[in-house]
Amino acid sequence: MAKLIFITGGVRSGKSRFAEKRAASIKNGPLYYLASGQPSDDEMQKRIARHQHDRASANVPWETVECATDIGSVTPSLNENAVVLLDCVTTLLSNELFRKESWRDEAFQQQTKQKIQNDIEKLNERSEALIIVSNELGYEPLNGLVDVYARQLGELHQWIVSKADEAYLVENGVPQLMKGEGV
């Protein structure tokens, strides 16, 4: 089983940049960047372009795989010594949970969470290291949709951290080790 690293923090906290550096520091084989973002509006288009620019200007060769859903489907194409960076679970959950109107159904919510967990396990079994990025959510007034999403994301985070060798919280560009030995 690969090394599993979880990195979380607020929006624009430096999570992705730290995750990319962490991946490069353990690079044994090819670096894969699984990008779950979809260019659905101007803001996301700019964020995607910024992330692509950051990777292109790095001194490490990234193989980017755009994968908004079904991340487990890329597993067969990965080299077994690959370092895989999944950015990000927040967007992946949104893509999986809200692609159908079934998001209100508790059984569908559980199936979606289980599917993501299974896909993460597949990636983790196939790679040398799996680095997972996600966002911490603010404390907003909850409505039905936000409550379902926040609950599912929180449960996914707890599950990932329980499996992780390392877990980091990034604030203001500073990673804080929350679990494991770190670098």
Domain ranges across the chain: 3-179
CATH superfamily assigned to domain 3-179: P-loop containing nucleotide triphosphate hydrolases (3.40.50.300)
For 78, residues 6+ apart whose C-beta sits below 8 A from its C-beta are: 32, 84, 123, 126, 127
Work out the end-to-end distance of the chain between its first and last CA atoms, rounded to an integer number of angstroms: 19
pTM: 0.89
Per-position pLDDT tens, the chain of length 183: 689 999 999 988 999 999 999 999 986 789 999 999 766 667 766 766 776 676 666 677 888 898 889 999 999 989 888 999 999 999 999 999 998 788 889 999 999 999 999 999 999 999 999 999 999 987 666 678 888 899 999 999 999 999 999 999 999 999 999 999 877
Give the per-residue pLDDT at 104.
85
Give the per-residue pLDDT at 182.
75
